């Protein structure tokens, strides 16, 4: 049995030096759904970019 | 100065903890909410006098020191101004134990990180120059401190983990330490020629 995974290709880096263009790009965020955002962050946790420890202690 | 508003919005779901923050994802998934950990407000770049026993002289170098809450808030306002990410200071809230937490929010940009070369290209393209490691007091600061002499903006912690590569390939800093070096304030760095100001469109 084979398993296939679909992985999005990594975006190709674009150098942006115009602050206004950078601001426009920032203003367009986010570009993903809530579920995709959550999955993506949890992948970051798995990859060690974040630690998930305990509860957040926020009410 | 106006007091910080009390944050009483929906805190969303706890996703992760890292650095000085507990990170939650907003209920609609569009924004990341960052709550400061007790007594943690990140770091600032500052200067320190170190005694060199070989030459019997004092040397001034750049260092990190713990940031004050006001410097933490300032950092996000400058980051927004310099790099464009719509970071909002949401206010202050209380933890279960009654201690305060500052709250900021940012749009969720994704988790794809640029590599070192892409960061170097982006920051160089925006007029920053890597600060010589000889001017730094701690090895962990090596190769992650950038300074833009034009307006005196200094950024620290320029590790790939503090940037994101968005779907269009743009590099967006999400968690940099950003400070302003006022003219004459540094013994190590050259003074700004067009000092940073929020109303200055060239910054």
Q: Is A5 exposed, middle or buried (0-12, 13-18, 19+ CB in 10 A)?
A: exposed
- CB-based contact B16 A51, cutoff 8 Å: yes
Task: State the pLDDT confidence band at B1, using cuts at 50, 70 and 90.
Answer: very low
Of the spans A20-24, B84-88, B153-157, B197-201, which averages the highest pLDDT? Answer: B153-157
What residues of A are in contact with residue B109 (Cβ under 8 Å)?
29-30
**Mutating which of B8, B22, B106, B108 best tests the A interface, going by the most A Cβ atoms within 10 A?**
B108
Q: CA-to-CA distance for B181 and B186, rounded, in angstroms?
A: 7
Q: Which of B74, B149, B137, B102 is nearest to B6 (CA)?
A: B102
- CB-based contact A17 B111, cutoff 8 Å: no
Taking the alpha carbons of B100, B104, B109, B114 in that order, is the dihedral positive or negative? negative
Which ipTM was obtained for this model? 0.73
Cβ atoms within 10 Å, residue B114: 23
pTM of the complete model = 0.87
Q: How far apart are the first and last CA of chain B?
A: 24
């Amino acid at each position: 049995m084979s398993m296939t995974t679909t992985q999005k290709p990594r975006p190709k880096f674009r150098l942006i030096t115009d602050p206004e263009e950078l601001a426009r790009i920032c203003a367009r965020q986010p570009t993903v759904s809530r579920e995709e955002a959550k999955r993506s962050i949890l992948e970051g946790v798995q990859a060690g970019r974040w630690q998930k420890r305990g509860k957040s202690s926020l009410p | 100065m106006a007091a910080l508003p009390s944050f009483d919005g929906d805190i969303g779901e706890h996703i992760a903890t890292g650095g000085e923050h507990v990170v939650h994802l907003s209920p609609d998934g569009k924004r990341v909410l960052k709550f400061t950990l007790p007594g943690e407000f990140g770091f600032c770049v500052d200067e320190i006098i170190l005694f060199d026993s070989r030459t019997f002289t004092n040397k001034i170098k750049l260092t990190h020191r713990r940031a004050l809450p006001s410097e933490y808030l300032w950092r996000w306002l400058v980051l927004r101004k310099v790099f464009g990410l719509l970071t909002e200071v949401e206010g202050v809230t209380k933890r279960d134990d009654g201690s305060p937490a500052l709250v900021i929010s940012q749009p969720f940009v994704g988790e794809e990180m640029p590599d070192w070369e892409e960061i170097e290209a982006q920051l160089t393209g925006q007029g920053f120059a890597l600060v010589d490691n000889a001017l730094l007091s701690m090895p962990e600061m090596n190769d992650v401190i950038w300074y833009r002499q034009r307006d005196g903006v200094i950024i620290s912690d320029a590790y790939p983990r503090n940037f994101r590569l968005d779907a269009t390939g743009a590099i967006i800093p999400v968690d940099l330490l950003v400070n302003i070096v006022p003219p004459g304030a540094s013994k190590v760095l050259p003074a700004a020629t067009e000092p940073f100001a929020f109303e200055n469109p060239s910054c």
